[in-house]
Chain A
Amino acid sequence: MDFNFTEEQDMVRDGLSRMVREQYDWESRRAAIASDAGWRPEVWAQLAELGILGMPFSEDVGGFGGGAVDAMIVMEEFGKGLVVEPFVPTVVCAGGFLKHAGSEAQREEHLSAIIDGSRIFAFAYAEPRGRYDFADLETTAKKDGSGYVLNGHKAVVIGAPWASHLVVTARTGGDRRDREGVSVFIVDKSADGIVTRDYETVDGRRASEVYFENVSVPGDALIGDEGAALPLIELVTDEAIAAQCAEACGAMKVAHAMTVEYSRQRKQFGVPIGKFQVLQHRMVDMYTAYEQSVSLTYLATLKLEADERERKRAVSAAKVGVGQAARLVGQESIQIHGGNGVTDEYAIGHYFKRLTIFESEFGNVDHHLKRHVSLA
C-alpha cells in the first residue's frame, strides 16, 4: 500500500498549482469566461508547454508516459481554480479513444497535435432523449462506399465551440439501446453538413448543439471496430469520470476552505458565525464528505486498469459518493455564506454551480447507483 505521490508527480502538481494561482485568480477567470471566446488559448498553450497536455500519453508518441494518477493530480488543481479549458474532452476523452483504439495513422495524425496544443476536441455523445445511456443513440452512421454518412443531433457538447474536431458516437447497426452496433468516429468540425449552435453553460463553460446532416466521413474516421465500441466508450468515460471526480474534489476543497474562512471573518451577534455549533458541525460534515470523496476518487483512479466489473464498480462508487458530496458541500457553502453566497460577485457561488453540473455529467447519482447495483 502506498498513498504517496512520486517526486515527479509532486513537481507537476507544484508547477500547475502555481500556474493556476497566477492565471486563474478570480478576476482573470471572470474576465475570461465573460469574453467572446469564453476561454484563453494562451492558457492552453501554456499547459502544452508545461507538458500537461501530453502527460497521459506514452513517450513513443511524444507524451510523458504518465497515467491516471497524473490526470487525477492535474484535474484536482483544475478544480481548485475552476479551470474551464477543455482538458477532459481533448486529452482524457479524445486522447483516450486514440490511446486505446486508435490506428497507427490516427495516433500519428492526432496525438502529437493534442500534445502540442494545436488541436482541440469535443466529445459528442449525449442526445436529447438518451439521458445517460451511451447506447441510446438516434444518431446514425450509414456505410457509404468506403466511408460513412452521419445524421443526428448531439446535445450539450462541452467545449465544442472551441474544438477543431469532434469525437462522435453513432449507431452503425442494431436497434436503439442495443449494446451492439455502436461506433465512434473522429470528425473534422468544419466538415460539410455540420451545423452548431453555441452557448454558455451555467457553470461558465461553452457548449454546442451539434447537428449532423448527411455528413460524409472517410472510412478511416472510424476508431476501433465498427459496431463494437460500447465497451471502449465505457472505458474512456470511466476515465473521464475519475478525472472529473478529482476535479470535484479540488473544487470542494476550495469551497470548504472558503466557507471555514468566511465563518471566521463574518460576525453576527457579536461573534464570528463559525462559533455557532450548528455551523461547526455542518462544516465538519462537509469536510468528512470531502475526505471520503478523495478516497473514492483514489479508488476509482487506481482501479481504471482493473477488470471491467471491478473498474465499473469503483468508478460508479466514486460518481455516487462524490456526486452526493458535491451537492452537500455546494449547498452548505452557500447557506453558510448567507446572502453573499447567492451573489455573482462572490466566488463561492461559482464553485457551487460547477459542483452542481458535475453531478449530472456522464451519469448522475441514481444512474451510477443502478450501475453499481447491477454489478453486485
Chain B
Amino acid sequence: MNLEFTPEEKAFRDEVRAFISQNYPAHLADFGMREDMSPEDMVAWHKILGEKGWSVPAWPVEYGGTGWTPTQRYIWSEENARVNAFMPLPFGVAMVGPVIYTFGNEEQKAKHLPGIRSGDVWWCQGYSEPGAGSDLASLKTTAVRDGDHYVINGQKTWTTLAQYADWGFFLCRTDPDADKPQEGISFILVDMKTPGVEVKPIKLLDGGYEVNETWLTDVRVPVENLVGQENKGWTYAKFLLAHERSGIAGVARSKRGVEKLREIAAEETLDGQPLIEDFDFARKVSQLEIDLAALEITELRTLAGEQAGKGPGPESSILKIKGTEIQQRLTELTLEAVGSYGTPYYGSIANDTGSNEYPIGPEYAHHSAATYFNMRKTSIYGGSNEIQRNIITKMILGL
C-alpha cells in the first residue's frame, strides 16, 4: 500500500496545474457564493475546458472523455479546488450525459453530447415534485402518447438553475396502471423553450434564487426525446443518482475551505491573539481536518475500487453523508470565526450601493452567513442523508 502519487501522476499534476493557472478566468478566482455571478460566468470555465477536451473527464473516450484514471480525475478536481474554480454544473456532465451515452440512441448521442461537452447547452434536472421528494417514485407528472408526441402535464419543483436552462431531463409517468410506483415511469428530454413550460424562481433563505418551480402544461415533446425504453425510466434515474452522489463528497473543495478558514482565523483576534491560536477554536478546525482526511482516503479507496472495475455502489452513500456533514460543519465554523460580521445581510447592502464593493466588515465575512444557511441544502438534496442511511441499512447491513 502506498499513498504517494507515481512520477507519472506527479507529472500529470504539474501539467494540470500549469494549464489551470494559465487559463482559469482571473475574474472568477475565489468566486465564493456570490449572487452576482452571471450564467456566463458559470459556464466560462466549462467552455475553456470544452475546447481543451477536458470538460467531461469521466466519460468514455469515444464520447469525448479523457481516459484519465480515477486518480488522475481526483488530481484534476483537487487542482481546481486549489483555486476555487467554479466547475461545470453537474446536470449535463455528470447526470444526463452518462444516461444518454449509456442508454440513448445514436441520434440522441449525436444531438446532445457535443453541447454538453462544449458547455453551450445548459441542462436542468426535473425529478422532484411538490408531493414527491424522498419518495421520488410517487411522482405524478404524466406524459401521454399522442401520435408521435408525448403530451406532458404536471409540476416539478426544486429544479436547480432551470431559469437558465436550454434543456431538461424529466421523469414522467407513462403508465399510470403499472403494478408498482417505480414502474411506468419514463425518462424524457424536454427543450425548455417548448410552449407550456413555465419556470418560477423560488427564493431561498439565503436570499438567492437557485431553484425553481417548473410547471408543464400540455407540453408537446416529440417521441424521439424518450431515452431508452418507455416505462423503464426508473432504471436510468437510479443509474443517474449513483453518478450524482459520487461527485457530492466535495473533498477537494472542503480542503480549500479549511485552508480559507485557517486564513480567516489567523486574521480574526481573540484576547488580542489570532483566533487560530485559541485552543478551543483550533481543536474544532483539527477535528474537521481529521474527518476530512478520513473522507479523502475513503473516497480514494472508492476510486481505487472503480479503477479495478467496480461501479459506484452503496458506499457512495458514505461519501454523501460525510461529505455534506463536513461541508456544513465548515460553513458553520467559518460563520463562527467571523464573529459579529456574520450578522449583516450583504444581499441588501450590495443592492443598496449598486456596486460589488461591500464596505462593511472584512471581505471574507460577507457571505459567511448566507453560505451557512445555503449549505443546509446539502443534507437534503441528492437523496437526503436520512435516505442515504436507509440505503446503507438495506444494501450494506442487510436489515
Interface residues of A (CB under 8 A from B): 126, 128-133, 136, 155-156, 158, 176-177, 197, 199-203, 207, 209, 267-270, 276, 278-279, 327, 331, 334-335, 338-339, 341-345, 349-350, 352-353, 356-357, 360, 364, 366, 369-370
The distance in angstroms between the C-alpha atoms of A338 and B135, with both chains bound, is 12
- Which one of B18-26, B106-114, B228-236, B369-377 is at the A interface? B369-377
Q: Is B342 an interface residue (CB 8 A)?
A: yes
A335 to B270 Cα, complex, angstroms: 32
B151 within 8 A of A: no
Residue B182 is within 8 A (CB to CB) of chain A in the complex: no
Q: Which residue of A lies closest to B379 (CB)?
A: A335
Grouping DSSP codes into helix (H, G, I), strand (E, B) and loop, the A interface class, with mixed when no group exceeds half, is mixed
CA distance A366 to B284 in the complex (A): 11
B157 at the interface (CB under 8 A from A): yes
Which of B33-41, B46-54, B55-63, B199-207 makes up part of the contact surface? B199-207
* Residue in B205, B272, B361, B372 whose CB lies within 8 Å of A350: B205
B389 contacts A by Cβ under 8 Å: yes
Contact pattern, B 152-194, Cβ under 8 Å of A = 1, otherwise 0: 0000011000000000000000000000000000000000000
- For the complex, give the distance between the alpha carbons of A133 and B202 in Å: 40
Closest to B387 in A: A268
Interface residues on B, range: 35 or more
Could you tell me the distance between the alpha carbons of A148 and B96 in the complex, rounded to whole angstroms? 69
Closest CB-CB distance, B256 to chain A, in whole Å?
Answer: 24
B280/A369 in contact, CB under 8 A: yes
- Provide the residues of chain B in CB contact with A136, threshold 8 Å: 271-272
* Min distance, Cβ A170 to any Cβ of chain B, angstroms: 17
Kindly state whether residue B215 has any CB partner on chain A within 8 Å: no
Q: Are A345 and B203 in contact (CB under 8 A)?
A: yes
Determine the chain B residues whose CB is within 8 A of the CB of A341 once the complex forms. 376, 380
Interface pair B135/A131, CB less than 8 Å apart = no
Instruction: Name the CB-closest residue of A to B281.
Output: A366
Within 8 A of A (CB), among B304-363: 332, 335-336, 339-345, 347-349, 352, 359-362
Per the bound structure, the CA–CA distance linking A349 and B208 in Å amounts to 14
The residue in chain A whose Cβ has the minimal distance to the Cβ of B381 is A339
User: Are B271 and A278 touching (Cβ within 8 A)?
Assistant: no
**Could you pull out 5 A-B pairs where Cβ atoms are within 8 angstroms?**
A270-B135, A356-B372, A360-B339, A364-B336, A370-B280
The answer to whether the Cβ of B268 comes within 8 Å of any Cβ in the partner chain is yes
- Pick the residue among B204, B278, B332, B344 that contacts A156 (CB under 8 A): B344
Q: Is the CB of A339 within 8 A of B128?
A: yes
**How far is the CB of B138 from the nearest CB of chain A, in Å?**
8
The CA of A357 and the CA of B347, in the complex, are separated in Å by 17
Closest Cβ of chain A to B140, distance in Å, is 13
Task: Return B323 CB to nearest CB of chain A, in Å.
Answer: 16
Closest 5 CB pairs of A and B: A349-B205, A344-B203, A268-B135, A200-B348, A200-B345
B69 at the interface (CB under 8 A from A): no
CB of B84 closer than 8 Å to a CB of A? no
| B369 cross-chain contacts in A, Cβ below 8 A | 202, 353, 356-357
Chain A residues near B335 (CB, 8 Å)? 356, 360
Task: Let me know if A128 and B380 touch, CB within 8 A.
Answer: no
A147, B175: Cα distance in complex, Å: 84
User: Is the CB of B225 closer than 8 A to any CB of chain A?
Assistant: no
Residues in B whose Cβ lies below 8 Å from that of A349:
205, 373
Given A335-B380, A360-B336, do A279 and B341 touch, yes or no (CB 8 Å)?
no
Q: How far is the CA of A269 from the CA of B349 in the complex (A)?
A: 43
The answer to whether A128 touches B341 (Cβ under 8 A) is yes
Q: Is there an interface contact between B202 and A278, defined as CB atoms closer than 8 Å?
A: no
Q: Is B66 an interface residue (CB 8 A)?
A: no
Residues of A within 8 A of B275 (CB): 131
Q: Assuming A278-B389, A343-B205, A344-B205, is B134 touching A269 (CB within 8 A)?
A: yes
